[in-house]
Chain A
Amino acid sequence: MRFSKSLFMFVMLLAFIVGCSSDSGEESGNKELTWSTTTGYSPQSTTSAVADYISGTVEDFESEHSDISLNTQIQSSNISEAMARILEQANQDRAPDVAVIDSYLFPQYIEHLQPLDDLMEEKGMKVEDFLPFAQDVLTGPDGKVYGLYMSTDTRVLFYNSELIPEPPKTWEEVIEVGKKLKDEGYDGISTPGGRGEGTSVTTLWPLFWGQGGKLVDDEGNPIFGEGKNKEIMVDVLSTIQSAVEEGVLPQRVAGYGSENDQNEEIAAGNVGMFIGGNWQESFLKETLGEEEFQKWEVAPVPQLEGGERTTTSGGWAWGIFTDDPEKKQAAFDLVYNTFISEQGMGEFTSIYGELPSRTSVYESEHYEGTQFSDEYREMLKNDARVRPASDDYPEISNQLQIAISDVISGNKEPEQAVNDAWEVVNNE
């Protein structure tokens, strides 16, 4: 009894002490600018070079805009979840002042965003300078420009050339090479196969599109589960399934939803080849060390037999939500100087290992590129496709992620998995 009483008093006391120490608001006179960004594109990036670069430009921004206090919000890396939050916030007029948005969802935000034509003109920037697919993403139905495409990316096969002299071009070859790797004690291949957007763009779409498959028709209605498209999708899943059955693709990739989920295994040194995003080059370099890194090469994503070389490109774009002119200007300055200007984009993409989204930047003195940037650029030009701008896309992607994850984990046969995904998508 006495003990409980003293515990009770203790808790109450604690409560009062901390209860009173609540901090109160921002200083008056200062405007607060909220920018919502991913960890990788923030001063908190886990890659130190990126963190240093962004911290530097943020410091410059703060010294130039002493009347603005910057509030950094980091998005979850569960992309659809993070994007859903911002969308919901925008619906309630509570969106951050400026946010980075995954390009495939960008059109859904345009009605909430501010047009940037005037500000771009001041900087002498033309929308035509962006790569063609980026222009499509950024331009609203009214012809105005609503965002700044910061960088683009593409999916590639990374392979250790010491183990694999000739990179596989088809999944048949992948299985062949993978078996050899397994005999030498390595994993066959790694590619994301779980629930997450990374699985769709890295593993599913390149194979599906490479065979001429279509996810949606010209009106944006789903057609992936009908006729020839269905056959192709089943083929894709069957191929993945046989790679798992042959022991070449480890079953645990059914838990990896993002390209980066593979990083831990890559760092462990057990992976001879993997399909991932081109930005993972910088991770490879930092983790493996210069000497080991020199053994690695890149090649186009392996296709199904007879498939056309295809890969997915994506990228992120900044959108400004605030309609306060001063904040809008400040947000534009921040994003422009850090990621979009010739110097900003050139330096950032070189450090981060992504690809400039502005044609002019490729020729810039500020763009050094990375070891493989020429290869990436080549793929971007010839092989890259972007995801369809359809309202149904998030659902299609989600259901097919479930499908491939079910196939890899042995829960469903390919045909059934596609049928189920098709049924769910059509149900809604």
Chain B
Amino acid sequence: MQRRMNKQTVLKFSLYISYFFVGILFLFPLLWVLSLSFKTSKELYNVPPTLLPDNLQFENYKHVIENNNILAYLGNSVQVVALTVILTLIIVLPAAFALSRFKFKLKGLLLLGIILTQMISAVVISIPLYRLFAELGLLNNFAILIIVYVAVVLPFSTWFLKGYFDTIPIELDEAATVDGCNKFQILTRVLLPSSMPGIVSVTLLVAVQSWSQFVIPFILLDMQSLYPVSVGIVNLQSTQQAVTTHYLAAGSVLSILPVIVLFVLLQRFIVGALTTGAVKG
């Protein structure tokens, strides 16, 4: 017994050590960028590099906000991501319902077809889409951009939710049918309430993926004012003259800050939803 206790203490201690290292590994890059974002351009080349800036240059933030429209890009991102999530759910819920609850010919093939579209890289389709949309006069259009975003996340979300619906006992549907519910009501009254963790997981996965999307907006948007933050940062990275590392760092911090805040505030829900969602899905 004594030996066992000791062993456990050692184990706990080593767990703490590994938390420390994992935490450092994942947080340090962000802290370093935070530090760079508050430095003057002179301090950037301090040898040896210093973690703490001499004094905090809020100027850098002011500069990127005033000159590089980072806030507007952030707004665009939020808007596109939110609408993508909504539209994805509107499309994917009935589809997943049908794939889970209906029996029809070629279902297996259809499921395979859907997962195959997941393989298509965005960089592959973006130039033809650009030409198509240019032809149709649909460029620089959030609605069309969102449809492409949705298409990119659809295969995965469909499979995910279909899997989740499969875990909900069909007896519930039957009971509801006896009570006089039609298909639509089965979906909204039976499946939706019992699938909330799955739906939240899909929401998060879709949101994160759309937030990261780069090549689609980069090619489908000609107008700078419509850029999401990922494209905005690349633009900031490629400024012509002078040293802009501190501005770039400030821009990066601004563009990841909302996500970090959201994750920190909601991390319990997020992990909860992701795990229940992922297990069943």
**Chain A contact residues, CB within 8 Å of chain B:** 1, 3-8, 11-12, 14-16, 18-19, 21-22, 38-40, 44-47, 71-74, 76-78, 88-89, 92-94, 96, 260, 263-264, 267-269, 279, 283, 286-287
| A38 to B224 Cα, complex, angstroms | 13
A residues near B47, Cβ cutoff 8 Å:
268
**B268 contacts A by Cβ under 8 Å:** yes
Rank and list the top 9 A-B pairs by shortest CB-CB distance, nearest first: A15-B82, A268-B45, A92-B134, A40-B240, A77-B238, A46-B242, A39-B239, A4-B200, A7-B269
* A76 contacts across to B, CB distance below 8 A: 234-235, 238
Q: How far is the CB of A12 from chain B (nearest CB, A)?
A: 7
Q: Which of A6, A22, A71, A78 contacts B79 (CB 8 A)?
A: A22
> A4-B197, A267-B41 known; A92 and B130 CB under 8 Å?
yes
Interface Cβ pair total, 8 Å cutoff: 119
B268 x A11 contact (CB < 8 A): no
Other than A18-B75, A267-B42, give 16 A-B pairs with Cβ distance below 8 A: A3-B272, A4-B276, A8-B196, A8-B200, A11-B85, A18-B79, A19-B82, A71-B225, A74-B224, A74-B235, A88-B130, A92-B130, A260-B242, A264-B44, A283-B241, A286-B242
Complex Cα spacing A15 to B224, Å: 22
**Cα–Cα, bound, A267→B222 (Å):** 34
Structural contact, B272 and A4, CB atoms closer than 8 A: yes
Q: Which of A71, A94, A283 has the most B CB atoms < 10 Å from its CB?
A: A94
Closest to A266 in B: B243
- B224-A73 in contact (CB<8A): yes
Give the distance to chain B from A8, nearest Cβ to Cβ, in Å: 5
Is B57's CB within 8 Å of the partner chain A?
Answer: no
Known: A7-B269, A264-B44, A267-B45. A46 touches B244 (CB 8 A): yes
Q: How long is the Cα–Cα vector from A279 to B242 in the complex, in angstroms?
A: 11
Interface centre among A1, A4, A44, A47 (most CB of B within 10 A): A4
Which chain B residues border A279 with CB–CB below 8 Å? 241
CA distance A39 to B266 in the complex (A): 39
Taking A4-B272, A15-B82, A15-B86 as contacts, is the C-beta distance between A263 and B243 under 8 angstroms? yes
Determine whether B216 belongs to the interface, using a CB cutoff of 8 Å to chain A: no
Give 30 pairs: A residue, B residue, CB < 8 Å, sorted on A.
A1-B197, A4-B276, A5-B196, A7-B200, A7-B266, A7-B270, A8-B199, A8-B203, A11-B85, A18-B75, A22-B79, A39-B239, A46-B241, A46-B244, A46-B247, A47-B241, A73-B222, A73-B223, A76-B238, A92-B134, A92-B135, A260-B240, A260-B242, A263-B241, A264-B245, A267-B41, A267-B42, A267-B243, A269-B45, A287-B41
Are B41 and A12 neighbours in the complex by a CB distance under 8 Å?
no
Residues in A whose Cβ lies below 8 Å from that of B229: none
Task: Judge whether B242 and A263 touch: CB under 8 Å.
Answer: yes
Q: Which residues of A contact B79 (CB under 8 A)?
A: 18-19, 21-22
Minimal Cβ-Cβ distance residue in B for A286: B242
- Report B112-136 residues with CB < 8 Å from chain A CB: 127, 130-131, 134-135
User: Which residues of B are in contact with A by a Cβ distance under 8 Å?
Assistant: 41-42, 44-45, 47, 67-68, 75, 78-79, 82-83, 85-86, 127, 130-131, 134-135, 139, 142, 196-197, 199-200, 203, 207, 222-225, 234-235, 238-245, 247, 266, 268-270, 272-273, 276
Shortest C-beta distance, A183 to chain B (Å), equals 18
Give chain A residues whose Cβ lies under 8 Å from the Cβ of B270: 7
Main secondary structure of the interface of B (DSSP, over half): helix
Bound form: Cα–Cα A286–B241 in Å: 12
What residue of chain A has the Cβ atom nearest to residue B63's Cβ? A46
CB pair B269 A4 closer than 8 Å: yes
Closest to B239 in A: A39
Chain B, Cβ-Cβ closest to A265: B45
Of A15, A44, A72, A283, most B-chain CB atoms within 10 Å: A15
Contact of B86 among A12, A73, A89, A286 (CB under 8 A): A12
Q: Which residues of B contact A89 (CB under 8 A)?
A: 222
Least CB separation from B197: chain A residue: A4
Tell me which of A15, A16, A47 contacts B242 (CB under 8 A): A47
Q: Is the CB of A39 within 8 A of B82?
A: no
Determine the residue in chain B with the shortest Cβ distance to A43: B67
Chain A residue with Cβ nearest B238? A77
Q: Which residue of B lies closest to A44 (CB)?
A: B67
Across-interface contacts of A1 in B (CB, < 8 A): 196-197
Interchain nearest-CB distance for A288 vs B (Å): 11
A93's nearest neighbour on chain B, judged by CB, is B134
Bound-state Cα–Cα, A96 to B140, Å: 13
What are the residues of chain B within 8 A of A45 when measuring CB–CB?
240-241
Please, which residues of chain A bring their CB within 8 A of the CB of B45?
264, 267-269
Residues of B with C-beta under 8 A to A6: 269
Contacts of B240 in A (CB 8 A): 38-40, 45-46, 77, 260
Kindly state the separation between the CA atoms of A76 and B256 in the bound complex, as whole angstroms.
22
CB nearest to B78 among chain A residues: A18
User: Which residue of A is nearest B134, CB measured?
Assistant: A92
By a CB distance below 8 angstroms, the chain A residues around B245 are 264
Cα separation A36 to B27 with both chains bound (whole Å):
38
The distance in angstroms between the C-alpha atoms of A16 and B45, with both chains bound, is 45
Shortest CB-to-CB span from B238 to chain A, Å, is: 4
Q: Which B residues are CB-close (under 8 A) to A77?
A: 238-240
Cα distance A4–B271 in the bound complex, in angstroms: 10
Instruction: For B224, list chain A residues within 8 Å (CB).
Output: 72-74
Q: How far is the CA of A39 from the CA of B200 in the complex (A)?
A: 41
- Contact between B83 and A7, CB atoms less than 8 A apart: no
Determine if A3 and B269 form an interchain contact, defined as CB atoms under 8 angstroms apart. yes
Bound complex: CA A89 to CA B221 (Å): 11
Distance in angstroms from A34 CB to nearest chain B CB is: 8
8 Å CB contact of A260 from B130, B222, B235, B241:
B241
- Within the complex, the shortest CB–CB distance from B126 to chain A, in Å, comes to 11
**Is B68 in contact with A44, judged by CB distance below 8 angstroms?**
yes
Chain B residues, CB < 8 A from A263: 241-243
Among A15, A38, A78, the residue within 8 A (CB) of B85 is A15
With a cutoff of 8 Å between Cβ atoms, the chain B residues found around residue A40 in the complex are 239-241
Interface centre among A22, A46, A88 (most CB of B within 10 A): A46
Q: A8-B196, A269-B45 are in contact. Are A18 and B82 (CB under 8 A)?
A: yes
In the complex, the answer to whether B241 meets A39 with C-beta atoms within 8 Å is yes
- Nearest to A10 among chain B residues (CB) is B266
For B203, list chain A residues within 8 Å (CB). 8, 11
Q: In the complex, what residues of A have CB within 8 A of residue B239's CB?
A: 39-40, 46, 77
